Amino acid sequence: MLILSRKLGESIVIDGRVSVSVVRMEKDVVKIGIDAPREMPIYRKELYDEIASSNTSASVEHVDCEESIIEKVTI
């Protein structure tokens, strides 16, 4: 993990396409602004983890369903 220090109004650029700026600081909360191409999805980490978990669960259920169907067809 790369850790950088930025002051209010300063930014970092990722891959020449994404700019992350410190917009506001309030006590223990830092507000950031992200400028990225529209086609690039951006998620909060906790939401991304939830989506990934949901996708994994759905994939496992799908595989279980396919195996059940195959068992019924081959019996």
CB 37 within 8 A of CB 22: no
How many CA atoms within 13 Å lie on the side-chain side of 72?
6
The reply to whether 32 and 55 lie within a common domain is no
The reply to whether 7 and 32 lie within a common domain is yes
Angle at 56 (CA atoms; ends 50, 48), nearest 5 degrees: 25
Would you give the distance in Å from CA 62 to the centre of its chain? 23
| 36-65 tens-digit pLDDT | 999 999 999 999 898 888 877 666 555 555
Q: For the whole model, what pTM was predicted?
A: 0.65
The reply to whether 52 and 64 lie within a common domain is yes
Q: What's the total number of domains in the chain?
A: 2
Element housing 12 (H / E) = strand 11-14
CB atoms within 10 A of CB 18: 14
The reply to whether 56 and 69 lie within a common domain is yes
